[in-house]
Structure 1
Amino acid sequence: MARSLDGLVLAPVADQAPGQVGTRTRFAYHEEDGRIWADYAGGDVVRGHLVGTRDGDRLDFRYVQLKTDGSTSSGHCVSEVTETSDGRVRLAETWEWESQEGSGTSVVEEVAAA
């Protein structure tokens, strides 16, 4: 897949644990010359940022976020870029917190145009 993430809005397909990203969180992605970054917010996240790199269909990035309770957290994520059956971008993510205990997997997909 060579499709750029630049300008895409993605959302998780399922809620994570309370205080983390969930189905109401929206990620606004940007991509340029193998670099990726995104701003995100929604649900329990007031503001979040991620920065990293893309090599083919593999993303490697770090993220930091401010939650509604005033706490902050950060972590590392590796994602595989795939495509849904209807042609939208899907990221299969493997993540781990660096500021606290915990790790897991999640899926985010391009939000369909209204």
Structure 2
Amino acid sequence: MSHPAYAVVRRLLDGCRTWMKSSGAYLNTVLGPPTYADATTVAKSFATAVPERMVWGSDWPHRGEKHMPDDARLLDLLAEWVPDEHARTQVLVDNPATLYGFN
């Protein structure tokens, strides 16, 4: 990841005081559906490096979008971004519980 913002975000995440919500592939893509390959590259990189600092959201109801994204496809993307089942459980269950105090 060569963009200067990537290094800044990584430093923040590595400091364990910042959380990242991984979502909105349809908002951050040049290549678009169905693969959102450019957004997928970035999301996978963060998910591999710091799954313990990530949460995920669908961003439903996608207000203001001319072309509504396929919510099922967005959920499928999560499995591509976070292929490890343990890490996916962190992102979907453990991390939100910690972040929002659900425990």
Bigger relative CO (Cα 8 Å, ≥ 6 apart): 2
TM-score (norm 2): 0.25
TM-score (norm 1): 0.23
